[in-house]
Amino acid sequence: MNRVSRFLPCGALLLVLATPPAGAQSYHVAKTIKLGGDGGWDYVALDTAGHRLFIARQNRVMVVDQESGRLLAEIPGLDRAHGIAFAYQAGRGFATSGRDSAVTMFDLKTLKVLGHTTVAPDDDAILFDLASQHVFTFNGDAHSASVLDPASGARVGTIDLGTGPEFGVSAGDGSLYVNLEDAGAVAQLDAAALRVTRRWSLAPCESPSGLAIDRAHHRLFSVCRNKVMAISDATAGKLITTLPIGGGVDAAAFDPGTGLAFASNGDGTLTVVHEDGPDAFHVVANVPTRRGARTMALDERSHRVYLVTAEFGPTPAAAAGQPRPRPPIVPGTFALMVLEP
């Protein structure tokens, strides 16, 4: 996700959400399951068909049973793992590997690695678009999106974005939207024609990372490094409003069943926003979490929120060549947290 802050550990989450019109609704940590293993992490992806969580773990992908939290398997062979996408009709899964500019393709049933495709430097976010039947990676350093065939894994196209992208979403109608981190903007892509159709500024948003979509109302939720959530009208291609969020944000999610949008922030908060109407939004809460809690997955059916976290030690002193050192992860403490209403 955000290229400056990826692989920071995520923390425990206790949250209280208001869900109008039903009123206040409490979330709680139902269970915490230690997964262990070394290395940092990035995206958490929910396999809705297989009821599994896929967690990018630096040199591999961990596959966890959604209900029990049991580790089912690990998909090896990645180098700085980032995003995971699922092409259910083809029976394939895909994971980006940013350091070696590759995408790993695996079988969704057996989890066996089927091959690797070279795309472009710093491939990060990835999605499968049902309308076009293509897989798209968003490549930060290459300023592009790579397009793959989901059956063969072969690269079939490239879209020049002109600047560094971050997370993307599919509208389900042939349009894709992607945050342009370096430009503080959103781009709309034609998934069939493989081209940018328009872009618009998110100012005063700076460095947008996570992106979520309300498909029913054509609203986009971009979370930005300068502590704002920028909400856009995807039909009109313009910014509607911004709302304050916590610092160090990386991920966003939207739950159509509750009308809640989420921003997971590395400063130890989860900002919760309610969509009162297509053009009206308010902050419900800034829920205390822990420092570094910035990636999440949302189950729209159960409204559960999944986070991963670990314990970590004190930040070492700055040194030559490392002016902003990161705190070390305590080995063996990596865990999955399940939050339920």
**What pLDDT digit, counting tens, does each position of 286-322 carry?**
877 777 778 899 999 999 888 888 888 888 888 777 7
Assigned token pair, 246 = 């916590």
Whole-angstrom distance, CA of residue 270 vs CA of residue 138: 25
Residue 40 lies in a domain: yes
Structure confidence at residue 238 as a pLDDT band (50, 70, 90)? very high
Asked if the model's pLDDT at residue 16 lies above 70, the reply is no
Q: Quick check: is 210 in a domain?
A: yes
Token pair of 208 as six digits: 């947008």
In this prediction, residue 276 carries a pLDDT of 96
Does the pLDDT value for residue 15 go beyond 70? no
Q: Helix (H, G, I), strand (E, B), or coil: what is residue 252?
A: strand
Number of domains in the chain: 1
- Tell me the whole-structure pTM to 2 decimals: 0.91
In whole angstroms, how large is the CA radius of gyration of the chain?
A: 19
Q: Could you tell me the residue range of the domain that residue 220 belongs to?
A: 16-340
pLDDT of 27 reads: 66
Has residue 173 been placed in a domain? yes
CATH number for the domain spanning 148: value is 2.130.10.10
Q: Are 115 and 105 in contact (CB under 8 A)?
A: yes
pLDDT of res. 237: 97
Write the single-letter amino acid at 338. Answer: V
Q: By the 8 A CB rule, do 181 and 168 touch?
A: no
11 in any annotated domain = no
In a domain, 200, yes or no: yes
- Residue 6 falls within a domain, yes or no? no
The answer as to whether 269 is a domain residue is: yes
Looking at residue 319, the DSSP 8-state letter turns out to be B
Quick check: is 136 in a domain?
Answer: yes
Q: CA quadruple 97, 100, 101, 105: dihedral positive or negative?
A: negative
